[in-house]
Structure 1
Amino acid sequence: MNKPKHERIQKQHTLLRLGAYLFRYKWLLLLAVVLTFASNTFALLGPMLSGYAIDAIQPGMGNVRFQEVFYYAAYMLLFFFASSIFSYLLSILMIHISRQIAYSMRKDVFNKLTELPIGYFNTHQTGDILSRISYDIDTVNTSLSTDLVQISTSIITVIGAFSMMLYLSPKLVLVFAVTIPISILLTKYITGKTRPLFRIRSAKLGELNGFVEEMISGQKTLRAYHQEENTICKFKEKNKAAVDSYYTAEYYGNITGPCVNLVNNLSLSFISIFGALLYLAGSMTIGNISSFILYSRKFSGPINEAANIISDFQSTFAAADRIFRLLEEEEELIDEPDAIRFKNEKSNDTEPNHSNQASTPSTLSEQTVIIEGDVTAQHAYFSYQPDKPILKDINFHAKPGTMIAVVGSTGSGKTTLINLLMRFYDVDKGSITVDNYNIKHVTRRSLRSSYAMVLQDTWLFHGSIFENIAYGKENVTLDEVIEASKAAKIHSFIMRLPKGYDTILSDDGTNISKGQKQLITIARAMLLDTNMLILDEATSNVDTRTEQQIQSAMRKIMANKTCFVIAHRLSTIQNADCILVIHEGKIVESGTHDELLEQHGVYEKMYMAQFEG
């Protein structure tokens, strides 16, 4: 019962959002309206002049006033030529406007993606997001550059043609009192049935793009497990669903045009019959009837065209709805107005504030503090869903310059803990502090800039090796990059490449090994002047010997930095100052390697399990 109302409100909302984009170019749109009016006005004068030329033909052999015929024909050519020029200028202008709107939309969507919380990307397929920023925006762009012009032209043409028909014969216009209501009711009925079909079509195309993106990025795994045939079958299902939804939407969407065209042709038959009767009664001339028929075609033609492009508008509304739904997603919570900013100890662009007293929001007004890296969690709880807690009563204290290792079985909550430290998520209860400042009262940007981070899933972009290593630091020199690369044991490999540090990495570094990619990300982290470091299985893709070399180099370079290390190979974190053992979302043990072995608990079982068999 409420569904049609909800759809109507959603459609109105989508129209308003599209209107807001159009309003940014209101003066250009005003010029477009002027060009549309001028083009259609000149075009509408043609049928009247044609009627005058026909009336210059009198009954009888050779009884034609050629001077009048040529006179009206010359003006017809002039007006039609002017109409074509204005129409061409209008098309160019609308292409420019639609291009600017598409550019603005893509910029807004991309900017929005950078503001969305990490959780959004965990619940939405990458391919579907790409579909919105490419296919859906292209659909809106095409509609604005062509369909909008066509609709605007149709409105002026219909009004002008109807006015001219009233001028020629008000009686003959009564024919449309029957045919127009039929066309309107028919169009409204069909579009009401087809609108949901276009929404389904956009969704299915998004699902298909998401599936294709996943399969392309997972080609190695797919082939390693001999899933080619299975993947092809799944693709056939997704492809068939997308094609079927596309066909269904287009099939039923295009029914409107032929139906309305049938009604318009019916009106033409009525005009011919009643026009002949009026001619016999002496109420109309042959020229008038000819002009009226031409105007009737101009009157009914746009109605038919509008019916044909309604299917395109349905697709446009569905695409725009998906775009605006993304733009209306809840963003990451904004920082408090009086949130403090962290600065690293090596930074000298602000006056230091050595106050380590815990501050409340009311006392944090525009404070900038230099931190040392003292991290504490007190009774911290977190859950992605309210009834499914992930971390429970987390307590630890990491003193500045210490190495804290986090171990536990898969799914125990290790990476979630790191996400909380970086404020990708906020704790539900309890607190996490840095130098006694609750991180909820700290700007996210400054907090995240206080950490260097190396993840298990490496990320490189298309660019030179130098650009990839220097990614997180401005105005970095080549010598600094080389120093970090040597520490990460990747310098010698880079120098063996034809162009050294100028070597271009392809998409996500597919032209180098996974281990080498990870070494580059480690060098990137080493380059940052931060007091805190996070390593999430950072050496999982390198051999044991290289890992030992990296550990040694990291210990030397990262002295006096607070380090959080997630590791599955427990042999790599034996020298940690404190090891946190997480089991089912709780820290069940903590201490040094030797202390934990003496407890004969979970850690000992995990450690000994590595040597079994």
Structure 2
Amino acid sequence: MPVNTNTGRRKLSEKTDKPRDTRFVLKRLWLYIYQYKWLLALAIILTIASNMFALIGPMLSGYAIDAIEPGKGFVVFKTVFYYSAWMIGFYIVSSILSYILSVMMIRLTQKIVRKMREDVFTKLVELPVSYFDRNQAGDIISKISYDIDTINTSLSTDVVQICASVITVVGSLIMMIVISPQLVLVMLVTIPLSLLYTRYMAKKVRPLFRRRSAKLGELNGFVEEMVSGQKTIKAYAAENTVVERFDKINKETVDAYYTAEYYGSMTGPTVNFINNLSLSLITVFGAILYLNRAMTLGNISSFVQYSRKFSGPINEVANIISELQSAAAAAERVFKLIDEQPESPDRDEAKELNSVKGDVVIEGVTFGYLPDKVIIKNLFLHAKPGSLTAIVGPTGGGKTTIINLLMRFYDVWEGKILVDGTETRDLTRESLRKAYAMVLQDTWLFAGTIFDNIAYGKEDATMEEVVAAAKMAGIHSYIKRLPMGYDTIVNEDGLNISKGQKQLLTIARAMLLDAKMLILDEATSNVDTRTEIKIQKAMRKLMEEKTCFVIAHRLSTIQGADNILVIDQGNVVEQGTHKELMEQKGFYYKLYNSQFE
């Protein structure tokens, strides 16, 4: 059943970069933290205990000072030593509890970060191919590495600091009220100033840190592209051009960093000034109360210490506001990735594709990657079981797009594709894709042994099966010459072997699969002519009794195809065997002869 074209196009255009508010980000972070609620509860208990022990110190200090009699120079040292000893004891206990808390928070945040990375990577595996077409690899890597590391740093240090600050501020305020309610009134002038200014700066700074994270992702994406394309850059002597482009992006990134850090760093000094103003007022009014015998020297000393403990955390929170905003911006980017729409689920009535015959029919298919740009227009094709269908045409004509639709990397806008009489959207994606073996022009190998790379699509493959596939692909003799044979480790992306050998390994991987349908995207483009002849012979044996789709640029390799589909600008302009198309002397005839001119 055809899908609604407008719906498909609307989904493509629904992508938005609208920022989420802070409450949304904090709520999502809380869901991760709450998974380890018992560790969190213990951390809170330790935080409260550590700060309560530290809050007793100033009161004991005041008692010790009151053991000094002004004027006479008389000191009751027994009292001083008594309270000093208790002070030392409380501070030691507070420090030990703080140490245990720090270790526990490191453990807790590592668990949270591990879970977050698992969620991000799981989402990446679930995302459709279109997501990776739209986003740079470097930016995606930046989210799973730098952004999550930023969150980790904030959770392990800033969150603990904020919790401790809340306890210290509340405890200090209570102790100050107990000592002198009159002096507390002085602070009612400065506290609102600190809070209002901090809130104002938080709103101003967060968009700057969001831009900073985005610019870093853009920089990482550019660097990743340039590193992977070093040979091309050097071959075209384009080093200066690349450096100029990098300098431009790097400058934008540095400017974004500077702007965010500049405004973020303004908060701390300003709040510190307000707190120092508060201390000055306390000193003046405290002296007046002392002269009126409303307070002792010990009370004033204790009150000043508590006022520092009260204002200190506010100042510290103001200083780490930039780090919190950076973490919020990083978390927003991570959650945005996690919230990306995965591949649309299989239909409820979708069935497994079993006992595959390989009868493929394309009826009136229309498709494009962008809502306003159609690539394939009203395409019809019938590939009978065991037939070889070659797809040829100029670059950008839609050849690879047809393969993407056959594999359901994308869903068609209009029309339908059927395999063995069943529309592909009524089949599970897993069973459909397992029915195909693929060899692409862009080879992909992972870090592992040669055996593992060949057996990638068949987990239970035996050594005999792998060797047989390698022999069919013409790579067995090369593997045997290696020091460790099939146990030789291939570097990431196969950088320690040639492109031709990489291509042969991917061909061997496809040969190992017992798939009834085969897709070849110019699979012999990276091998020499002699090797190509060997592979073509092996391929013909592989393709026996299988439905094959071959994207070919060298038309001499597909002369024996059962059906040649000539694609130009999304339309099938010609269709038939090589002989029939040559006799027509049309588009294919010109395309074929142009390769020998």
Coarse TM-score class (shorter-chain normalised): over 0.9
1:51-130 counterparts in 2 under 5 A? 51-61=62-72, 63-130=74-141
Pairwise CA distance, 1:239 = 1.3
Matched letter for residue 294 of structure 2: S
Pairwise CA distance, 1:557 = 2.6
Q: Deviations over 1:209-256 (max 9, x none)?
A: 001000000000000000111111111111111111111111110100
* Contact 2:359–2:547 (CA under 8 A) maintained in structure 1: yes
1:163-562 counterparts in 2 under 5 A? 163-342=174-353, 369-562=354-547
Q: Deviations over 1:320-347 (max 9, x none)?
A: 01101111111110011221012xxxxx
Pairwise CA distance, 1:8 = 8.6
1:18-57 counterparts in 2 under 5 A? 18-57=29-68
CA distance in 2: counterparts of 1:108 and 1:510, whole angstroms: 30
Secondary structure of residue in 2 paired with 1:397: strand
CA distance in 2: counterparts of 1:10 and 1:492, whole angstroms: 61
Secondary structure of residue in 2 paired with 1:330: coil
Q: Deviations over 1:350-401 (max 9, x none)?
A: xxxxxxxxxxxxxxxxxxx321111111111111223321101111111111
Q: Deviations over 1:277-331 (max 9, x none)?
A: 0001111000000000000000000000000011101101110011011111111
Which of 582, 586, 589 matches 1:604?
Answer: 589
Q: Residues 535 and 117 of structure 1: is their aligned pair in 2 closer, same or farther, counting only changes over 3 Å?
A: same
Greater CA drift, 60-69 or 532-541: 60-69
Secondary structure of residue in 2 paired with 1:389: coil
Secondary structure of residue in 1 paired with 2:390: strand
Secondary structure of residue in 2 paired with 1:255: helix
Pairwise CA distance, 1:498 = 1.3
CA distance in 2: counterparts of 1:341 and 1:588, whole angstroms: 35
Q: Deviations over 1:66-95 (max 9, x none)?
A: 111111111111111111111111111111
* Contact 2:397–2:568 (CA under 8 A) maintained in structure 1: yes
Q: Which has the higher contact order (CA 8 A, sep 6+)?
A: 2
Pairwise CA distance, 1:182 = 1.0
Pairwise CA distance, 1:60 = 4.5
Which of 143, 146, 150 matches 1:132?
Answer: 143
Number of residues of Structure 1 aligned to a counterpart in Structure 2: 581
Matched letter for residue 272 of structure 1: T
Q: Residues 7 and 588 of structure 1: is their aligned pair in 2 closer, same or farther, counting only changes over 3 Å?
A: closer
CA distance in 2: counterparts of 1:220 and 1:102, whole angstroms: 36
Residue of structure 2 equivalent to 1:581: 566
Pairwise CA distance, 1:9 = 5.6
Matched letter for residue 410 of structure 1: T
Matched letter for residue 63 of structure 2: Y
CA distance in 1: counterparts of 2:110 and 2:370, whole angstroms: 42
* Contact 2:449–2:490 (CA under 8 A) maintained in structure 1: yes
Pairwise CA distance, 1:7 = 8.1
Matched letter for residue 231 of structure 2: K
Secondary structure of residue in 2 paired with 1:254: helix
* Contact 2:480–2:486 (CA under 8 A) maintained in structure 1: yes
Q: Deviations over 1:126-179 (max 9, x none)?
A: 000000000000000000000000000000000000000000000000111100
CA distance in 2: counterparts of 1:51 and 1:107, whole angstroms: 53
CA distance in 1: counterparts of 2:19 and 2:260, whole angstroms: 19
Pairwise CA distance, 1:62 = 5.1
Name structure 2 gaps, 5 residues minimum. Answer: 1-16
Pairwise CA distance, 1:583 = 1.1
* Contact 2:53–2:94 (CA under 8 A) maintained in structure 1: yes
Which of 158, 168, 181 matches 1:147?
Answer: 158
Matched letter for residue 306 of structure 1: V
Secondary structure of residue in 2 paired with 1:388: coil
Q: Residues 8 and 245 of structure 1: is their aligned pair in 2 closer, same or farther, counting only changes over 3 Å?
A: closer
CA distance in 2: counterparts of 1:591 and 1:236, whole angstroms: 53
Greater CA drift, 73-82 or 181-190: 181-190
CA distance in 1: counterparts of 2:357 and 2:393, whole angstroms: 28
CA distance in 2: counterparts of 1:238 and 1:101, whole angstroms: 32
Q: Deviations over 1:563-586 (max 9, x none)?
A: 100000000000111111111101
**TM, length-normalised to structure 1:** 0.93
CA distance in 1: counterparts of 2:373 and 2:327, whole angstroms: 40
User: What is the percent sequence identity of the aligned residues?
Assistant: 63
CA distance in 2: counterparts of 1:94 and 1:441, whole angstroms: 49
Pairwise CA distance, 1:65 = 1.1
Q: Deviations over 1:463-488 (max 9, x none)?
A: 11111111110111111111101110
CA RMSD in angstroms, aligned pairs only: 1.2
CA distance in 1: counterparts of 2:110 and 2:563, whole angstroms: 57
CA distance in 2: counterparts of 1:522 and 1:240, whole angstroms: 44
Matched letter for residue 21 of structure 1: Y
Secondary structure of residue in 1 paired with 2:391: strand
**TM, length-normalised to structure 2:** 0.96
CA distance in 2: counterparts of 1:235 and 1:588, whole angstroms: 43
Matched letter for residue 72 of structure 1: Y
CA distance in 2: counterparts of 1:577 and 1:31, whole angstroms: 72
CA distance in 2: counterparts of 1:9 and 1:226, whole angstroms: 44
Where do 4+ consecutive residues of structure 1 move more than 4 Å? 6-9
CA distance in 2: counterparts of 1:193 and 1:13, whole angstroms: 18
Q: Residues 466 and 566 of structure 1: is their aligned pair in 2 closer, same or farther, counting only changes over 3 Å?
A: same
CA distance in 1: counterparts of 2:155 and 2:352, whole angstroms: 44
Secondary structure of residue in 2 paired with 1:175: helix
